[in-house]
């Protein structure tokens, strides 16, 4: 299998086009690929559809940057502080422009990606019956089967899934542990997969624990070695959550002018993720690094 290692700039430039639908993080609060979102802004990708259950302030930042045409999501905002200011400005005032919304619950979005991974047109559920989602999302249709009402959730097949992992080999075989959310379904449903990895390891390391493999390497398009790609989000085994950063973002972006200053400082004012980390500061990153160990019990894969 070929070597798929690319620089972050190259991966975003080569594999994400204007108008694409993107899964940007699928593990809820952890493992959010903020480094990729920053590069998307720097490369001025436009008219994007963002797909994820929750990607914290990543969606809000991209909306404010004018990169987004539509979100297909369960929620958009700042987990620590509430709805994102850019999201609200877009919906309420059309600033910088009004985005489209395809409303989902966390569960129905997971079903949509699972359906895409399975290659079926929809998956049924009862959980949306009686909810306002049937009004806010006209794509969700109620049908009867043997006298029972079911909601059909259309499958999703995004153009690109950008997912974070703890470690990967050069061919795209990767380990992800902790809360994987809908990352596996997103990888299998999407046409392309870009992996951001904290570490690049030998294939033998991945083969030593096959049950922890997120997705087979042949499904992966690009592998980017990008330490601390998820800051300010947490990564199991490596970094804690930078709570202060999220609260600072919430305060700084209350006005459009404040957001402009924020993104000029943290995103467009630097040329790379390495420069971003220098701006965050080594001492701040050191405080976020996980110091302890909480190891899983060993398993035995021997068959004879």
In sequence order, the 6+-apart residues with CB closer than 8 A to the CB of 296 are 177
**98: three-class secondary structure by DSSP:** coil
pLDDT of 252-292, one tens digit each?
999 999 999 999 999 999 999 999 999 999 999 999 999 99
pLDDT of 179-198, one tens digit each?
999 999 999 999 999 999 99
pLDDT level of residue 25 (50, 70, 90 thresholds): confident
DSSP code per residue over 203-271: HHHHHT-GGGBSS-GGG--EEEE-TTTTTTS-BTTTB---HHHHHHHHHHTSSHHHHHHHHHHHTTTSS
pLDDT of 32-70, one tens digit each?
999 999 999 999 999 999 999 989 999 999 999 999 999
Integer angstrom CA distances of residue 189 from 114, 261, 302: 7, 37, 32
Q: What are the chain's domains?
A: 8-105+157-288 (3.40.1080.10)
Are 140 and 134 in contact by the 8 Å Cβ rule? The answer is: yes
Residue 80 is predicted with a pLDDT of: 87
Among 127, 112, 96, residue whose Cα is nearest residue 51: 112
Are 56 and 78 in contact by the 8 Å Cβ rule? The answer is: yes
Query: CB atoms < 10 A from the CB of 135, how many?
Result: 9
pTM: 0.97
d(CA 49, CA 21): 4
Phi, psi (degrees; rounded to nearest 5) at 261: -65, -40
pLDDT of 111-166, one tens digit each?
999 999 999 999 999 999 999 999 999 999 999 999 999 999 999 999 999 999 99
Residue 62 is predicted with a pLDDT of: 98
pLDDT of 297 above 80: yes
Radius of gyration, alpha carbons of the chain: 19
């Amino acid at each position: 299998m070929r070597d798929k290692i690319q620089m972050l700039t190259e991966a975003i430039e080569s594999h994400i086009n204007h108008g694409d639908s993107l899964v940007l993080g699928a593990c809820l609060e952890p493992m959010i690929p903020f480094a990729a979102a920053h590069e998307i802004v720097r490369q001025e990708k436009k008219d994007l559809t963002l797909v994820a259950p929750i990607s914290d302030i990543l969606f809000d930042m991209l909306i404010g940057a004018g990169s987004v045409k539509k979100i297909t999501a369960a929620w958009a905002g700042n987990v620590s502080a509430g709805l994102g200011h850019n999201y609200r400005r877009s919906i309420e005032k059309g600033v910088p422009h009004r985005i489209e919304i395809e409303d989902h619950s966390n569960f129905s979005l997971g079903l949509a990606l699972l359906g895409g991974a399975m290659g079926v047109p929809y998956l049924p559920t009862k959980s949306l019956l009686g909810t306002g989602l049937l009004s806010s999302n006209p794509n969700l249709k109620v049908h009867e089967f043997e006298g029972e009402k079911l909601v059909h959730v259309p499958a999703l097949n995004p153009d690109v899934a950008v997912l974070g992992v703890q470690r990967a080999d050069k061919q795209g075989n990767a380990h992800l542990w902790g809360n994987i959310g809908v990352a596996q379904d997103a990888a299998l449903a999407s046409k392309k997969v870009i992996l951001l990895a904290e570490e690049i390891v030998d294939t033998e390391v991945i083969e030593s624990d096959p049950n922890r493999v997120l997705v087979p390497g042949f499904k992966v398009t690009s592998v980017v070695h990008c330490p601390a790609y998820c800051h300010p989000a947490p990564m199991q085994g490596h970094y804690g959550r930078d709570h202060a950063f999220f609260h600072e973002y919430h305060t700084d972006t209350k006005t459009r002018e404040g957001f402009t200053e924020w993104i000029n400082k943290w995103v467009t004012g630097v040329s790379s993720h390495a420069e971003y980390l220098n701006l965050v500061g080594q001492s701040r990153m050191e405080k976020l690094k996980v110091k302890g160990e909480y190891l899983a019990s060993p398993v035995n894969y021997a068959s004879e």
